[in-house]
Amino acid sequence: MELIYGHPKSLKPIQTKYCPGCGHGVIHRLITEVIDELGMQQKSVILNPVGCSIWASIYFDFDSVQVPHGRTPAGATGVKRMLPDHLVICYQGDGDLAAIGTAEAVHAANRGEKFTTIFVNNAIYGMTGGQMAPTTLVGQKATTAPYGRDPVEAGMGYPIRVLEMFATLEGTRYLARGAVNNAANTRKTKQYIKKAFEAQLRGEGSTMVEILSQCPTNWAMDPVESVEWVESDMIPFYKLGEIKDELQGSAVKEAAK
């Protein structure tokens, strides 16, 4: 009998350390499914960030390089420049990408570095216990925004829409935003990841998939409430879809239509 759905080869068959309802585990699964589909297990390297997803060495059955908090795109630049025929994945949280590592992320994208960033936006610092992230919504509570994020009185700034900002950079070729709060969004997100990985393997330039992800623990919600909150609060602010698609591959497809 043909097996049509099973555990991805690139993902080790172990239980994750993630909290119930966390998005990271689902995202790991999507990445590894696509790696398997592309037959890239032996030629993939993931740069795992400092954050809840630090555990690449436990989960992934392909090589990895772990870098300091926020330096993920710099490390990925070094890896991809030396291994141009590999699939290089720069996995980042919102604190990692949009706070401490903003400079690295912007400049790697601007240089058109040919790796793919998987940007996990859970609107919070997960690992350190629920501090405000650059992507925390206005009014959303965090341990360091106990009365909710207040951009005006408390001067806490506004949530950053990373993809819209990166869309202005000429080095970026493909920017898409998905979510893993329900089956339909999860399937769509997998398509974005696959499109980005394929573009990377064609050497097309900077690609990034932002994924809205649940952190029930630090949102003080149960898993069901958290997937609903992504729908009710996050998606209205962080619009899903392909924010920028300047891939040659896509242009060819368009022309064929």
Partner 1 sequence: MADEKRLMKGNEAMGEAAVRAGCDAYFGYPITPQNELTAYMAKHMLDHKRVFIQAESEVSAINMVYGAAATGARSMTSSSSPGISLKQEGISYACGADVPIVVINVARSGPGLGGISPAQGDYFQSTRGGGHGDYFHIVLAPKSVQEAADLTFEAFDLADEWRMPAMVLADGMIGQMMEGVVLPQPKDPATRVAKPWASGNRPAGRPVNHVDSTHLVPEEFEQANIARYKRYDEMKKTLVRYEEQHVEDADLILAAYGTSARVCLGAMQMARKLGLKVGLFRPITLWPFPEKRLGELAGKRFLTVEMSMGQMVEDVRLHTRGKSEVSFYGRCGGMIPTEEDVLAEIRRILKK
Ligand X SMILES: Cc1ncc(C[n+]2csc(CCOP(=O)(O)OP(=O)(O)O)c2C)c(N)n1
Binding region for ligand X (CB under 6 A): 50-53, 69, 93-96, 120, 122, 124-128, 133
Q: Give dist(CA 194, CA 174) in Å, integer.
A: 12
Angle of the 23-38 helix axis to the 183-201 helix axis, nearest 10: 40
Contact between 217 and ligand SF4 per CB under 6 A: yes
Cα 69 off chain centre by: 15
* Residues from 37 through 96 that contact ligand SF4 (CB under 6 A): 52
Nearer to ligand X (CB atom), residue 122 or residue 207: 122
Q: Give dist(CA 103, CA 97) in Å, integer.
A: 9
| 64: partner contacted, choices ligand SF4, partner 1, Mg ion, none (Cβ within 5-8 A by kind) | partner 1
Residues 6+ apart with CB under 8 A from 36: 8, 9, 10
* Dihedral pair phi/psi, residue 123, rounded to 5°: 55, 25
Task: Report the interface residues with partner 1, using CB under 8 A.
Answer: 42-43, 45, 47, 54, 56-57, 60-68, 71, 74-79, 81-83, 86, 103-104, 106-107, 111
Nearer to ligand SF4 (CB atom), residue 32 or residue 122: 122
Position among 22, 109, 137, 240 found at the interface with ligand SF4 (CB under 6 A): 22
Contact between 134 and ligand SF4 per CB under 6 A: no
Give yes or no for a contact between 164 and 172, defined as CB atoms under 8 angstroms apart: no
Q: Integer distance in angstroms from the first to the last C-alpha of the chain?
A: 37
What is the DSSP annotation of 158-202? ----HHHHHTT-TTEEEEEEEE-SSHHHHHHHHHHHHHHHHHHHT
Q: Which stretch binds ligand SF4 (CB under 6 A): 65-73, 101-109, 181-189, 214-222?
A: 214-222
| 143: partner contacted, choices ligand SF4, partner 1, ligand X, none (Cβ within 5-8 A by kind) | none
Position among 19, 83, 100, 201 found at the interface with ligand SF4 (CB under 6 A): 19
Retrieve residue 248's tokens: 């040659």
| 115: partner contacted, choices ligand SF4, ligand X, Mg ion, none (Cβ within 5-8 A by kind) | none
Q: Which stretch binds ligand SF4 (CB under 6 A): 17-25, 62-70, 147-155, 173-181?
A: 17-25
Query: Among candidates 218, 227, 229, which has minimal Cα distance to 124?
Result: 218
Q: Is the dihedral of CA 192, 194, 198, 200 positive or negative?
A: positive
Nearer to partner 1 (CB atom), residue 82 or residue 154: 82
**Which chain residues interact with ligand SF4 by CB under 6 A?**
18-19, 22, 24, 52, 122, 126-127, 215-218
**Which chain residues interact with Mg ion by CB under 5 A?**
93-94, 122, 126
